[in-house]
Chains A and B, each alone.
Chain A
């Protein structure tokens, strides 16, 4: 068995996939160099990023399949699961055979793992669009922290660029120590270590208290249903919320 290792960038993944696709062999593992666990029976080869190849595959996927397929590939890359690349290789080979129909071919054993992982990533992004909570810091900067399962910042930042364009903000992935910073002009992705406690603006505490009060009063006590609440909003997201879910159930 062979394994091709890429450098952990999206371009790296694309160019490595391109080279593997050329061999028409679905038995190649494709993994990020950092995640790779060596074993005795695999021949490994590290491939450096080849920008023209990456660009070429990028264009080919759009042309032969669809922009949606490219989005699936990007989401799998951001899922940061070790076998994402390995899943993508046979998927793309099949895609070159059947074209854009691949996006709907859930029933296929090769396509299904890719589409379902892509959906998992998309589901978490959509959830975070709602669950992200900004806090106003001194000086008018809005700060939001999160710890998603997948690397979500590149997926959700554009939404907030459109929505909250007139205020500067930072969305901080505490787990990956990565942040999207928006200065009302352009947004950049940069490393940002976790651990600093921000200084709130004057009325931030009051606003948070108002929101908590609203959250308490909008629930109908006789319909308390913690199971449904946790289904929609798993506990892992509660840490970064302002409100206090589940307080009814305790009473």
Chain B
């Protein structure tokens, strides 16, 4: 098979993997070597779907022994199959890298023959790159669940980042859609990688030259919209992963229906990209804004609002703390204001050292005032129109979203807005008055029992919020399976 044909087939099979970041590693070039890693990461291009191309994202092979219902590369799909030879792929990576097309390699694979065999091939590509070509660029590699821990350890020494994809956010879904995979086999390499990172970090404190182990950390990916888990379940799982496994990133992938199955959404429909976007926003709130998953979504309200970002949603449910005076609030409180992020909060804080901050100064800090103005006062003055009324603000902000979707920028307050009575807020206010993390102490950083979450998630599933057909199908199938199980002669 020609190289270009292989490349096309294996890129096609790899495209549903979301991660493409090349940040977090500062591997330096060596004398006579090729390449280095940039700590901030560099995007080299953007494909026609608007996603960045930073690494050569490719499968080693798409020839899979598994038959996961959701996957494009499942054994029973009739698609062209191809497999790279390790040297072929290493050469291609170097040729692309020297032309500055890519920042490095993102190597993944379908399971060919056995997990060990697959992982061996992947390690061989990395070994060729690092040792023969003296390549010091970025390498992201998938840990294959079920592969020998020694192979995973070897991969960790050669790679910058490793990941194990969870894909299905609950054990129940995993059981139904990927019966050949086990929860334990996914969590095991994850735990091993985490332990390796922690251990090597300790060693490096004593011995400066101790070799790195997965210096850019590990990440994972969850599929959105293929199975009936709620946003709340997904966010709680992510939070557990961040706390317990110290993930660098959890990626969310809006499920593109590629296979026909009664267990999955019908192929042909658009992927739930807006929901994916809202989950990413909530994810950012967890990582950079000191939010807790419990603050964002409660049991009685398990889904994020598609028309409004999660921070606005949170703020509108907490009218008791708004509007906030930007000249007096501390950094943690500033971070709670919609339209103000870590950068503008930092700038506001440093500006206040030299005198009071006025509204023009606030504009220059880069705060997004089209949102922030409803939630702040600046030198005692409220800039959000009539008064702080969550119902009115909700209406204006969602109108803004609708206009933006249509390509307009911004929305003007109108006379009708000033006189008419706003509609009631679509969500309940949260009862607790003081749940700002700096007012009460931060929720303790006890490692969440992620494993337990997996078990529990199907119990708290909220059938009212998801497509009923999917839910009914799942339930029926589960019952059938249970029945079949029970009737087995022991």
Q: Which residues of A contact B (CB under 8 A)?
A: 98, 101, 104-109, 112, 126, 129-136, 142, 144, 159-160, 162-167, 207, 209-211, 213-229, 231-233, 241-243, 245-249
Contacts of A126 in B (CB 8 A): 40, 42
Contacts of B16 in A (CB 8 A): 220
Among B15, B28, B43, B273, contact of A219 (Cβ-Cβ < 8 Å): B15
Contact yes or no, A224 B49, CB < 8 A = yes
CB distance from B87 to the nearest CB of A (A): 16
Contact yes or no, B364 A132, CB < 8 A = no
Contact with A along B341-364 (1 / 0, CB 8 A): 000001110110110010011101
Contact yes or no, B98 A164, CB < 8 A = yes
Contacts of A215 in B (CB 8 A): 45, 47, 53
Name the residue of chain A whose CB is nearest to the CB of B347. A106
Closest 10 CB pairs of A and B: A228-B50, A248-B48, A107-B361, A225-B50, A104-B350, A219-B47, A107-B351, A223-B49, A217-B11, A130-B44
Given A167-B98, A211-B101, A223-B273, 10 additional A-B pairs, CB 8 A:
A105-B351, A108-B354, A213-B11, A214-B56, A223-B49, A225-B50, A226-B50, A242-B101, A246-B48, A249-B48
Indicate whether B8 reaches chain A with its CB closer than 8 angstroms: yes
Among B4, B40, B100, B365, contact of A107 (Cβ-Cβ < 8 Å): B365
Contacts of A247 in B (CB 8 A): 48
Contact yes or no, B50 A213, CB < 8 A = no
Contact yes or no, A218 B47, CB < 8 A = yes
Contacts of B350 in A (CB 8 A): 101, 104-105
Contacts of A207 in B (CB 8 A): 95-96, 99
Contact yes or no, B271 A211, CB < 8 A = no
Please report the C-alpha to C-alpha distance between residue A210 and residue B101 in the assembled complex, in whole angstroms. 11
Contacts of B56 in A (CB 8 A): 214
A131 in contact with B36 given A207-B95, A210-B92 (CB within 8 Å): no
Name 28 interchain pairs, CB-CB below 8 A, sorted by A.
Answer: A104-B350, A104-B351, A106-B351, A108-B364, A109-B364, A129-B38, A133-B99, A136-B98, A142-B98, A144-B100, A163-B35, A164-B100, A166-B33, A207-B96, A214-B11, A218-B47, A218-B57, A219-B49, A220-B15, A220-B256, A222-B256, A222-B271, A224-B48, A228-B46, A232-B43, A245-B46, A246-B48, A248-B49
Contacts of A163 in B (CB 8 A): 29, 35-36
Indicate whether B299 reaches chain A with its CB closer than 8 angstroms: no
Contacts of A166 in B (CB 8 A): 32-34
Indicate whether B52 reaches chain A with its CB closer than 8 angstroms: yes
Indicate whether B270 reaches chain A with its CB closer than 8 angstroms: yes
Contacts of B362 in A (CB 8 A): 107
Contacts of B54 in A (CB 8 A): 130
Contacts of A98 in B (CB 8 A): 354
Please report the C-alpha to C-alpha distance between residue A101 and residue B353 in the assembled complex, in whole angstroms. 9
Among B38, B50, B254, B365, contact of A227 (Cβ-Cβ < 8 Å): B50
Contact yes or no, A164 B49, CB < 8 A = no
Please report the C-alpha to C-alpha distance between residue A217 and residue B254 in the assembled complex, in whole angstroms. 18
Contacts of B107 in A (CB 8 A): none
Indicate whether B14 reaches chain A with its CB closer than 8 angstroms: yes
Contacts of A221 in B (CB 8 A): 49
Name the residue of chain A whose CB is nearest to the CB of B137. A163
Indicate whether B12 reaches chain A with its CB closer than 8 angstroms: yes
CB distance from B118 to the nearest CB of A (A): 22
Contact yes or no, B45 A132, CB < 8 A = no
Contact yes or no, B29 A165, CB < 8 A = yes
Contacts of A130 in B (CB 8 A): 42-45, 54, 100, 103
Question: Which of A107, A126, A134, A209 has most B Cβ within 10 Å?
Answer: A107
Question: Which of B36, B103, B354 has most A Cβ within 10 Å?
Answer: B354
Contacts of A246 in B (CB 8 A): 48
